[in-house]
Amino acid sequence: MTRIVAAGALAAGLILSTAVLAPAAVQAQVPLDPSTPNFLAWSPELQSRGYRTIEQVFQVNTIARGDQVRPLVMARRQIAPQFEHDGRSWTVESYMEAFNVSGVLVLKDGEILLERYGLGRQPAERWTSFSVAKSITSTLVGAAIQEGKIAGLNAPVTDYIPELAGSGYDGVTVRQLLMMSSGVRWNEDYTDPNSDVATAGASPGEPGVNAMVSYMRRLPRVHPPGEVFNYNTGETDLAGVLVAKATGQSLSDYASEKIWKPYGMEQDAIWMLDPSGLERGGCCISMTLRDYGRVGLFMLENGVAGDQAILPPGWAAEATRRQIDNGAAGYGYFWWMNPSGAYQASGIFGQSITTYRDDRLVIVINSAWPRATGQDLSAARSAFLDAVHAAALAQ
């Protein structure tokens, strides 16, 4: 299998570089104040404040928590990893300060080995996910398959988004959509103002048709489905539309029903909306640091909440395993494979849930990086993750 990524993406840092939320995706959010600066160009001060109060900046829906909270207890022994990187010694505190980290959470066997906050953030405050939301959207696809709302991974996408019939998406399966391998042409070059990713959000739609669906159904197919990986933010939005149409519920309500309530999230989360009032499958869920950790545990525990199997048998392992070549460590169902053997949900500006399945280890990092991504930023985070991993195994 071959892969296509945005120009310069691999050089920008393997995992996060292709997880960038493009300008069109940002423009498709709905600011409460029309003078709100471009989401990708926020100042450090605005990042620190705005990432934890997104509901005061953009229109959102609530993902309601339930009555019970899954406890996260402190492990008897905590870790304090130290490491060498780029010619200097680092601690957790110095890493967090240098890279504008608002939260680090490390869970081993469901217990907290490390929990730290920065940038003035408090434990009860949420933080926006950027493209970490993509991995949650694919998980909701699995939940809809489990309850029979989606026939299965081999079901045609057009069965659930009939507006795509007669387009390049004819014959594309749900699995191929989740692998970003539809074969439909899409240009995710963030430096090109005429690329699809730069124009889709501002493109006029058709009456009665979701604007992204309207745009995507006009694109031609250039490869057979299932053969070529091409990072495509638009297709994660299609996956969200697919779930909403299949279940007859908003993504927020479905996430509440299938994850937040049964698994015991501690606080309501919020999901940003597009101009049509739909949550974007590819972006921007805000939740607490510990609830990010619970998302990681939910997948690590195979999508089981109490005695209820939310996901099909084997789904969690399959979704988080290499399904297609992406020129790096591999790609699953909107989950990235990490060269160190972990799998990862990733978002720009330093958001990640990194899971080492065999070690029962989940590492969450929330940040406000000065740039969306970059080799230096990714390399430092990788060094930090390696140090945390080693310290967790040694404790």
| Cβ atoms of 242 and 210 closer than 8 Å | no
Residues in Cβ contact with 362 at an 8 Å cutoff, skipping those fewer than 6 apart: 105, 106, 107, 293, 296, 297, 300, 353, 354, 355
Report the pLDDT averaged over residues 193-215: 84
Q: Is 395 exposed, middle or buried (0-12, 13-18, 19+ CB in 10 A)?
A: middle
Of 111-120, 188-197, 318-327, which gets the smallest average pLDDT? 188-197
Query: d(Cα 64, Cα 49) in Å, to the nearest integer?
Result: 23
Is the confidence at residue 165, as pLDDT, over 60?
Answer: yes
Local confidence band at 19 (pLDDT 50, 70, 90 cut-offs):
very low
User: Of the segments 209-223, 253-267, 269-283, which one has the largest average pLDDT value?
Assistant: 253-267
Residue span of the structural domain in which 109 resides:
2-394
d(CA 281, CA 260): 17
Total of domains in the chain: 1
pLDDT score at 189:
82
DSSP classification of residue 209? S
CATH code, 351: 3.40.710.10
CA atoms within 13 A on the CB side of 71: 3
pLDDT at 22 over 70: no
3-state helix, strand, coil in the chain (%, to 5): 35, 20, 45
The H or E element spanning position 375 is helix 375-394
The DSSP string of 293-340 is: HHHHHHHHTTTEETTEE-S-TTHHHHHTS--B--SSS-B-SS-EEPTT
pLDDT for residue 313 is more than 90: yes
Give residue-wise pLDDT tens across range 319-373. Answer: 999 999 999 999 999 999 999 999 999 999 999 999 999 999 999 999 999 998 9
Predicted confidence band at 27 (pLDDT cuts at 50, 70, 90)? Answer: low
Give me 143's structure tokens.
Answer: 């939940």
**Dihedral (Cα; 304, 310, 312, 314), 10-degree rounding:** -30
Question: What pLDDT band is residue 29 in, cutting at 50, 70 and 90?
Answer: confident
Q: pTM above the 0.85 mark?
A: yes
